[in-house]
A and B are shown apart, each in its own frame.
Chain A
Amino acid sequence: MGAFVLKRLGGMALVLLAVSVLTFLIFNVIPNSDPAVRMAGKNANPQLVANITEEWGFDDPLPQQYLTMMGKIFSGDVISYQGQEDVVSRIAEGIPATLSLCIGAALIWIFFGVLLGYLSAVRSGGLLDKALTILAVAGISIPVFWLAAILLNYLAYETELFPAQGYVELTEDPLDWAYHLVLPWVTVAVTLIGLYSRVLRSNMLDVMDEDYVRTARAKGLNESQVMRRHVMRNSLIGIITLFGLDFGALIGGGAILTEAIFNLNGVGQYAFESIENLDLPPIMAITLFGAFFVVLFNALVDIAYAYLDPRVKLGSATDG
């Protein structure tokens, strides 16, 4: 197990390296234009462009440029020339809001996704299953921006049940923190609840047909033990894979629209604004930030998978 974890983490470092090289190439080496001009943004002047060329070493050979860029990002020395602000500290400021949104939404979507999927599978073919199927498909089909607009209109503007905008620090006032996040959480979670309940339902129906479930019943386990220990345990393995990927992608940029609509001032919203302004340095830094989370959660999924399904470990030790 230890060797497996090391191997996966090593693999993760390699993937991150590749992503950073790719990011570097996309932003700084595309032909037919001067990267310094693009980086300077809308209010570029010759002096600023010259400074940027000097600062980022755009006259150096490419490997040197790459090292300069990585050095600047990791030492926090990246400036948005348009906004005249420190990009890395701006990202750091946004992290609490982004994590609050993502983790809270994840708890909600996992809880309801699993609950509804379970009910649907246990009552498969019944009225409840049919109703939940319709709801799930509706949830999957609703676009985030539309759902957000509807929630804002009816629950914030018309009835004023929930605040429409803004983020309150958790440390400042936990109740107000949650109160402000309810609508964003729901917005992010609805689609995923629908998706997860469908995936879990079909996993469970498959597992219920397995021979080992019949064995579990033949041993005299009661129905809830059979469901919990054998059907659910084995069905959740697939869900965890899915969750790692979705959660990584959500932190890494999947919540951009939601953050912007509810004005949460998180990393996603910063990305949204930077893209609007064609402000290159923050876009670059946020791309790497997002890639880090996607890759990190991919590696965690693999490790969790090996832990949950013992056959994976064996495969890595004696395959070939």
Chain B
Amino acid sequence: MANAAPLIAVRDLRVGFATEGGLVQAVDGVSFELVPGEVLAIVGESGSGKSVTAQTIIGLTRSPNARIEGSAQLGDAELIGASESELQGVRGERIGMVFQDPMTSFNPVYRVGAQIVEAIRAHRPATKEEAHEQAVALLDSVGIPDAARRIDDYPHQFSGGMRQRAMIAMALALEPEVLIADEPTTALDVTVQAQILTLLARLNRERGLATLLITHDLGVVAEVADRVLVMHEGRIVERGSLDEVFYAAKDPYTRRLLDAVVRIESAAPLRPPRSGAALLEVTDLVKHYPARRGLLRREAEPVRAVDGVSFSLRAGETLGLVGESGCGKSTLCRAALQLIEPSSGSVRFAGREIAGLSRREMRPLRREMQIVFQDPYASLNPRKRIGQIVGDPLELQGVASGDALREQVLELLGRVGLRPEHYDRFPHEFSGGQRQRIGIARALALRPKLIVADEPVSALDVSIRAQILDLLAELQGDFGLTYLFVAHDIGVVRHVSDRIAVMNKGRIVEEGPADQVCERPADPFTRKLLAAVPIPDPHEARARRAAAGPA
């Protein structure tokens, strides 16, 4: 395969963006070749330049501030500096592209089929009927059930996984030689991710398609890639076959990245079982949302977001709550903390019934229970300084003011690994990981007993994830905290939890010690969830594929 003439040859590609602070070199001298039939993965964290590289190749880096140099050849044709009309002939026709977020990558006002038809007719003189027929066949080939009917749906009527399948069908409509897939499974649940990866592998095998896979997820890479490039700060720091990169990485950054991956097999350091009193006891908690249908708004079956959930959380332990998007885990957390009113059921906090308490009655209890949110970008007020963000809860609850307040905030910042000079800065001056530290400092300010961490690391890069998880573990010991740790990533959950509860369709389907749930899962849904997690280890991934038999 390595001897075949390259389909795409990139030579010394540089992309800089002129900003107020000078030229930012996003891609800094990248060279690689893509040969027919291979899956080449470009791995890197956010800001590494991997997406900019891919988009620049097909001329989609359109900012007027971009400075592009170097060469990218498709066969004999030079793509860098090519005219718009030349590039239009390449896009879709010779290089298909799939993007990260299938929710936003389709135009919401056109039917799915119409958008595929549009792609076909942009390049071929097909009639609408011919193109429509072809689109049905394409949707069918990527596994959309009842394609002839579903083709007339609008994008919002498709699930996330179906949308990504349709996006792949559209990218393949004109049988391109190259597929560029930019984080194609990042926005999907892990079981759906597994299906999409299988689909991509099948298409690659059946059509001899060359695939350039852009991803931050080493698990995904181990599942499907033949060769790997690791990008860091605009440069390729490591390149080689899958095994070379995973088992014999030369570059220190690559090794750090591999070490940072929280693997599902890596159990948490063994901790003595907690025998303390129950801090949070949830019994038969239900949250239903009424639904109404039709012209007369008749009452329909309610949406059972949380459908009779019970669990208890002992002081000082960590309970991991895992489930896919829409399973009700966030609703459960909010109902347990009385941020929304449960439909029925009981919630006891430190022995006291809190379900049904009024806002005023809850107020003194609020300081005992705090939340760390998923998105460290959206959950910090951009107009407030860090000192104020962290100090606000202290001031509001009347704990401290003036110099004492400042002192306490500075101490908190120190505890989460931030420096005193950060006190007067604004959130936008910080990286994602630092922002999450700020969120943790804010949650810690009132010395709570319980912290609900709602997907605290899923928006962060892998190398940062481990740091934040370590910080949470350290703080748990120091402050005697109890965690309810919510995540969709069972690997991360296992890493931090004493016990794990698996949630599906509003119910807890399995609960038990972390090792037991991960190694001897009793419930079929848990088994499905575990089987879908990509393993960042090529040997094991191969072994598992072999065991599963030909797909």
Contacts and interface: CB of A to CB of B under 8 A. Distances in A.
Contacts of B97: 215, 218
Interface in A1-30: 3, 6-7
A220 interface: yes
Contacts of A217: 60, 91
B293 A220 contact: no
Interface string A295-320: 00000000000001111001001111
B5 interface: no
A6 B92 contact: no
19 contacts: A125-B64, A211-B105, A215-B167, A218-B96, A219-B91, A220-B88, A220-B90, A220-B119, A220-B123, A221-B118, A221-B119, A222-B122, A233-B107, A234-B109, A308-B109, A311-B154, A314-B154, A318-B291, A320-B303
A212 B106 contact: yes
Contact of B88 (A211, A221, A233, A237): A221
Contact of B104 (A210, A221, A234, A308): A210
Nearest to A223: B84
Contacts of A233: 107, 109
Contacts, number: 92
Given A125-B64, A218-B96, 8 more contacts: A212-B104, A214-B60, A220-B90, A229-B118, A233-B109, A311-B108, A318-B291, A320-B289
A320 B107 CA distance: 25
Interface in B282-301: 289-295, 300
B122 A225 contact: yes
Interface string A198-213: 0000000000001110
A6 B118 contact: no
A211 B122 CA distance: 19
B58 A218 contact: yes
Given A125-B64, A219-B91, A222-B85, A214 B122 contact: no
The secondary-structure label for the interface of chain B is mixed
Task: Give the 9 A-B residue pairs with the shortest CB-CB distance, closest first.
Answer: A220-B92, A220-B91, A219-B119, A211-B104, A218-B97, A212-B107, A320-B291, A219-B92, A310-B154
B105 A215 contact: yes
Nearest to B154: A310
Contacts of A3: 294-295
Interface residues of B, number: 40
Given A3-B295, A220-B123, A310-B154, A215 B106 contact: yes
Most chain A CB neighbours (cut-off 10 Å) among B108, B300, B303 = B108
A216 interface: yes
A230 interface: yes
Contacts of A310: 108-109, 154, 156
Given A222-B85, A314-B157, A214 B99 contact: yes
Given A219-B170, A220-B88, A230-B107, A314 B119 contact: no
A6 to B, nearest CB: 7
B93 interface: yes
B461 interface: no
Nearest to A221: B122
Interface of B: 58, 60, 64, 84-85, 88-93, 96-97, 99, 101, 104-109, 118-119, 122-123, 154, 156-157, 167, 170-171, 289-295, 300, 303
A320 B123 contact: no
B118 A220 contact: no
Most chain A CB neighbours (cut-off 10 Å) among B167, B295, B300 = B295
A221 B173 CA distance: 14
A4 B100 CA distance: 35
A320 B290 contact: yes
Interface residues of A, number: 32
A128 to B, nearest CB: 15
A238 B494 CA distance: 47
Contact of B99 (A211, A222, A223): A211
Given A6-B295, A211-B105, A234-B109, A218 B122 contact: no
B91 A320 contact: no
Contacts of A214: 60, 99, 105
A170 B290 CA distance: 56
A317 B296 CA distance: 11
B105 A212 contact: yes
A320 B297 CA distance: 10
B84 A222 contact: yes
Contacts of A215: 97, 99, 105-107, 167
A317 B101 CA distance: 26
Contacts of B303: 320
Given A214-B60, A314-B157, A219 B122 contact: yes
Contacts of A216: 107
Contacts of B90: 220
Interface in A230-285: 230, 233-234, 237
Interface in A70-89: none
A229 B117 CA distance: 13
A95 B223 CA distance: 72
Contacts of B93: 220
Interface string A114-142: 00000000000100000000000000000
